[in-house]
Amino acid sequence: MPIERKILFAYTVTLVILSICLFAAYVEVRHLSERLGKIETLVHIREEADPLVPPECEFSPHHCTVSFKRLISDPRLFHNRKITVTGIYVLGFEESALYPPGTEIFDSNESAIWISNPEHMKENMSSVTITGVFKRGPSGHLMSYSGELKSINMEVNQPGKR
């Protein structure tokens, strides 16, 4: 067999093997994608059927007052709940966020909550108490925030209430 035919044969065998591997990988990814979809559906059904009720919401399941630290530590417990939380409100270019009380450096969006509907909020770098419906993240600008609070009401706290 001439050398060109051997090279062509080796090339053809390599392409066939690669095609089989790619097909197997495609089938596996598709299978995993279907399983993930089923798991997500089951989780959604579970959350809707019997949502976890955090202790902060035990006596008033429709409205909870929660600390910022507690909200960030377990956001799934407060997903789709009306909550009241206190923090430092920062409004700026591509930013409308609530940071933990006592924060002085605002550089970590992971420990912040995106605030929707900021057009009525004029206070910047102020301690505020906000009531709204919480959605767990990622959310906000570039999906870099831990959650989102669709604001209903904002009250500026007096100095010293941080």
Amino acid sitting at position 160:
G
Higher pLDDT among residues 126 and 107, named by residue? 126
pTM for this prediction: 0.61
pLDDT digits (tens, 9 = 90+) for 16-62: 999 998 998 888 888 888 888 888 888 777 766 656 777 777 777 67
Residues 6 or more apart whose CB falls under 8 angstroms from that of 105 comprise: none
Q: How far is CA 117 from its chain centroid?
A: 18
- Higher-confidence residue: 124 or 43? 43
Instruction: Please tell me the distance from the alpha carbon of residue 113 to that of residue 11, in angstroms, as a whole number.
Output: 55
* pLDDT tens digit sequence for 61-83: 678 899 999 998 888 888 888 99
